[in-house]
Structure 1
Amino acid sequence: MTLSRRAVDSEGVTISYLDSGGPGPTVVILHGLAGSAVEFIPTAESLSDFRALLVDQRGHGHSTRVPGDTSRAAFVADIVRVIEAEAHGPVSLVGQSMGAHTALMVAAARPDLVERLVLLEGGAGSGDRAENARLGDFFRSWPIPFIDASAARAHLGDGPLERAWVADLENRHDGLHPRFDPDVMVQIIDAVAVPRWGEWESVSVATLVVYANGGIFSEEDKAEFVRRGQHAQRIDVDEASHDAHLDAFDRWVSLLQSFLHEGQPR
Structure 2
Amino acid sequence: MTQAERVARARASIAARAGEPVELALILGSGLGDLADAVEGAVAIPYAEIAGMAVSTAPSHAGELVLGRLFGRRVALMRGRLHLYEGWPARDIAMPVYLMRSLGARSLVVTNAAGALNPEFRPGEVMLIEDHLNLTGANPLTGPDEPALGPRFPDMSRAYAPELRTATLDAAAAAGIALRRGIYAGIAGPSLETSAERRWLRATGADAVGMSTVIEVIAAHHAGLSVLGLSAITNSATGGPEQLPDTIEEVLAHAKVAGGEIAGLLEATFPRL
Q: Normalising by structure 2, report the TM-score.
A: 0.36
The higher relative CO (CA closer than 8 Å, separation ≥ 6) is in 2
Q: Identify, as 1 or 2, the structure richer in helix.
A: 1
